[in-house]
Chain A
């Protein structure tokens, strides 16, 4: 194995060992491609309106399977990340609900927004 291959593998192994972190690489982006693409479409006002009118039908038109559609309707951010959705595209879905990034973060941690903000503030001491 070449030096470069060893470096790449070591770097991926480093990230794989970090709990609660999902490296957004080729395979993951492929897995969540339809989800990310559906979310990206929500950057247009007319698409946001069509989505809000019938979320399930909109997801179906964008090629999402039933399981992923359920995650979208439930706004299950963590499982959408695990399913290969990219956080920046998911943020466009959150924008439909006028939901902040902090609320997405809190939910992924299973915390109330108050507890999550307290955790964020705790980093001031570092």
Chain B
């Protein structure tokens, strides 16, 4: 069976992609953010995933408001880089794994997650920025992606969004599908978006690092507590666009109940977003408390 080797959760701010593409990652404004990505790149390189599942939301490149799937899975042989208005990012296109995609779709639908199916899909910054952060060189440079990819799209744009609990359970179903895959592939799952930020209205610029740090802590020790957060509460505590954090819970749901946070990087801010990144590995048993009160 395939093996889920870890999870990475990270913000996917477009300006982070632009900073890489215009080679300004060592400017004083950006250097602290990108320096903090270096250990994550090393960890991902060691994990050497054959397949990377990227949970993200499309920001109006491929999903317009006419047809909005709550959940969708990519099943394309290739995923080109979309033009979001500035021209496509200067990075190679992604290679899919249609066998794995169809396995995942069959399993999810059988497990009563009625996903939409995308056999053609260009990807935007929500997908490509996390990939550049994790697989690109120090400044994001990349000639060829070392992993095949499977995109999972979540509607975080048009209310009503899926609940946090539903996203967590989707992660559980994805994990079961990985475990049932008759191959020896190493699989990484990435949950993207967030952390706190608001782009629209007079509240644009709002961030809430206290909430973000709480969220990072509970991702490790009590993710079920996070599954009780409503969309409205996400908007209040993490900003109108901060509700993207539900996609972190898909990745967390795929992991074991007990995980170790191998690495954490939290930086305020990247453009208008509190930027977070965390790497997790599975633990088989609860950690033994070293101190008994």
Contacts and interface: CB of A to CB of B under 8 A. Distances in A.
A102 B14 CA distance: 12
Interface of B: 14-15, 59-61, 64-65, 82-87, 157-160, 198-205, 207-210, 230-233, 235-236, 240-241, 268-269, 271-272, 274
Contact of B203 (A18, A92, A124): A18
A7 B230 contact: yes
Nearest to B213: A126
Which of under 10, 10 to 19, 20 to 34, or 35 or more describes the interface residues of A? 35 or more
A106 to B, nearest CB: 8
Given A91-B85, A95-B84, A96-B85, A26 B204 contact: no
Interface of A: 7-8, 10-15, 18-26, 29, 33, 36-37, 39-40, 42-45, 48, 78, 81, 86-89, 91-96, 98, 100-102, 104-105, 108-110, 116, 119-121, 123-124, 126
Given A45-B83, A123-B207, A20 B202 contact: yes
Name the prevailing secondary structure of the B interface residues: loop
Contacts of A91: 14, 59, 84-85, 199
A78 B231 CA distance: 23
Nearest to A91: B85
B85 to A, nearest CB: 3
Contacts of A89: 60
A12 B230 CA distance: 10
B85 A92 contact: yes
B201 to A, nearest CB: 4
